[in-house]
Structures are given as structure tokens and as C-alpha cells.
Structure 1
Amino acid sequence: MDENAYDFDANFADARRKLAELNERARQNTQRASALAEDANSIVATARSARGEVTVRAHVGGRLADLSFGDAADELSLDALGRLTLETITRAQREAMTLLAERGAELFGPESDIARGMASDAERSYPDTTPGR
């Protein structure tokens, strides 16, 4: 048997194996991306002000699910209540994005571009407004 024919067969088999591995990884990534998309639609995060003046529930992407005021809200001026409401909304929105980023890290790995990108988006889009941070 010609030695070059053996090398060709071995190289072809190796190429087929690598292609099968790539197809399997692509299939797994598609499943992960689908799961992440479902999570993006279902995640809702809650943030509450320290004394319960404001409670906010937010979806990934910032859409509010709920906004409510506790009895302690009556003790604040309208300006203070407005600022506290905005801060609490931002915290809920950030938490929703952070939960999605954590889910992305679970599915694709913590060092994946997807997980790091979503964590960066959460930080950039909804900055931490906690005093002293």
C-alpha cells in the first residue's frame, strides 16, 4: 500500500472527527443561547430601598415589572422620594442584568465573551449609585 494513501486516509479521518466536534460544539452553543434567551425573558429582579420606602421589580433590559411605595415614603420630600425611586429602579435593573450575566457564565463559562460582555453591559448601563462605592 502506498504510504501517501495511508496519510491521506488518516488526515481525512482526522478532518472528519474535527468537523464532527465543531458541529457538536455549535449544537451545544445553540442550546445554551436558546436557554439564555429564555432566561432573558423570564428574569425579574427586585430592589428595595433601605427603609422600604420604594420597591421595584425590573426585567432584563430595564423594563419595570412593578413599582410600589411603602409607608415610609410619606416621610420623604418629593425630591428625596424621586431620587430614591430612581436609585432603586437602577438597582433593580442592574440586578436583573447581573443575574443574566451570571446565567451566561453558568452556560458559557465565566471567562466567555458572552458572560463578560453582559457583566460589562450591566455595569455600564446601570451604574452602582450606592453612596461610597
Structure 2
Amino acid sequence: MLACGLWCASLNVQALDDPWIVLQKTAFAARELNYQGIFVYQNGNQMRSVQITHMNHGGHELTRNIVMDGQPREVLSQGSDIVIYNAQNDKVVIEKRRGQNLFPAMFPTNLDALKASYEAKFGVVERVAGRDAQVVE
């Protein structure tokens, strides 16, 4: 389930008729816009909170993720390079990105594979983080 905030109100009528267009615009915005905030997500029975600062300057993405629960760590990424700082043992790991499991890269750029296996539909409008949001299921 994904909720998109007030910016959905500015989408054209066609986007409001097609949840896949809303998801595509969400994925684009996550990569192309500059923003800062707290990203909270649930995977099974685990919830995680990550403070995110994201910049896109001249087509180059820079992201700083600070894990706010569990083991303290910070992840900096630029393109395919990742720097992980583990505050608990003062270790720094520099590596190439192996997967796309960090926000915003977790949103696929091409939704065609998802469309082949999943159905997307609009759910109810709910309040998320103090704002009205359209749920896409």
C-alpha cells in the first residue's frame, strides 16, 4: 500500500483515473526532487524509520539516510557508490551499490514488470502524517 500526499491533487485528470500513472510520478519525484524528511516503512512485522536528505543536482543524485531505530548507522550514496558509517563500532564501509533496497532507489523506474504481476487500484483517502493522502493498493 502506498499513500501519496497533497501533490496528487495537482495531477491531471488522466493520472487520477490511472493508479499506475500516480505510482510512476511518485517514483520520478522520489529520484528527481530535492527533499528532506522521515521515511517510515513496514516490512512484515518490522517497522523502520529513516531520516532522509535527498538532492538531485544536474542529474546526479546524492542521498543521506540516517537509520533512527535499531543499530545506529548512516548511509551516504552518490550514484552507484555507498558509504556506510556504523556509529556503534566506528566502522566505515565503502562499496558499490548491489541492490536497490534504499529509498528512493527502491521505487522502480519501469513499472512494466510490476504491471504484469500486480493490479493497482485506488483505495480510500486517509490522513498520513497530518495530510490527506490517496491510498494506492
Whose relative contact order is higher, 1 or 2, with alpha carbons under 8 Å and at least 6 apart?
2
Structure with higher Rg: it is 1
TM-score, structure 2 as length reference: 0.27
More helix by share: 1
TM-score, structure 1 as length reference: 0.27
